[in-house]
Amino acid sequence: MATEERDRSERGTAGQDRGGAKADGEFVRAGNAFKDRITDEEGARWPVEPGRYRLVVSLACPWASRAVLVRRLLGLEDVISLAVTDPVQDERSWRFTLDPGDVDPVLGIAFLSEAYHAADPDYDGGISVPAVVDVPSGKVVTNDYPQITLDLSTQWTSYHRDGAPDLYPEHLRDEIDEVNEQVFRDVNNGVYRAGFASTQTAYDQAFQRLFRRLDELSERLGRQRYLVGDTVTEADVRLFTTLVRFDAVYHGHFKCNRHKLTEMPVLWAYARDLYQTPGFADTVNFDHIKRHYYQVHRDINPTGIVPLGPDLSAWRTPHRREELGGRPFGDGTPPPARTRGRLEA
């Protein structure tokens, strides 16, 4: 992902450094500063090691929610611990005010920025989630969100639960990568390009690309249950985390209002199918999602008022997607039910 000039005076876009705007008003997402990988290769600087790393997320963030969801589906909850930040960050970065004493109980820090500066004392860029932190040193290892989930699927296989799905099957990787690139450009990041556009032309272009891509995805998903192959893959994870936020945030807050998700029959059924698939819904927190976007983005929503809607009950209604065939976990099994309560582990 290309890194463009950033306006560091702006706070994050639901997890990622906000980036800046070109002269024509187009929003440009900033790149990721920490790109080390945790691998199972011999002699790796950051080796795969149960209990060593802590995944820091905001449940408001679609990029972070990918990692939470993949960790859940693969059964890595007892292998990589999870820290959940307050959905509303301040000028000091993401904060651990959901924890006793406002300090993360494992890392012993009050703000995620402390882990960034432990890794690089001179770092002056954005503080984003998801971030994987090395617990012994307290240093951020990576905030490279596209690679984090792929590595959870490919580097941590020795610690996947029995029956874990293959979210990045080798024979489908080229197709998954192609779909992911299109979905990122026009949908995942497309909603931000519309929401943070600073000229009418830039907004119009982002809006048109977004809904053109959604129409193409609707056509594709009208023929098959999942985006690639006949099981849930990384491609479905990446699209889901945007769709689940669409009506709650992007339709109104980001002016992506040609149609609501609930008015796009194929995508709405597809999103409900995934939401009702074990492991998906229990990583979604609509309260965190709405409070972050509406309270942090004061340039878009100056009053900070958080809307009460939409009605969420329809997420549990029948979708009939099973008629298209396919099985979410293939020959694997659903993740075990999670006890109710906070996600931290």
The rounded percent of the chain whose pLDDT value lies above 70 is 91
pLDDT at 6: 30
pLDDT at 15 > cutoff 90: no
Backbone dihedral region of 307: left (phi > 0), alpha (psi from -120 to 50 degrees) or beta?
beta
Q: Is 315 annotated as a binding residue?
A: no
- In tens, the pLDDT along 169-181 reads 999 999 999 999 9
Distance CA 49, CA 158 (A): 10
pLDDT at 123: 96
Give the CA distances from residue 150 to residues 71, 103, 116, 272, in Å, rounded to whole numbers and listed in that order.
Answer: 11, 29, 22, 24
The sheet carrying 81-84 orders its strands as 81-84, 53-57, 131-134, 139-142
- All domains of the chain in start order, with CATH: 170-324 (1.20.1050.10)
Catalytic annotation on 61?
A: yes
Catalytic annotation on 53?
A: no
pLDDT at 127 > cutoff 60: yes
pLDDT at 31 > cutoff 80: no
Q: Which of 53, 145, 168, 192 is catalytic?
A: 192
* pTM for the full predicted model: 0.93
**How many CB atoms sit inside 10 A of residue 86's CB?**
18
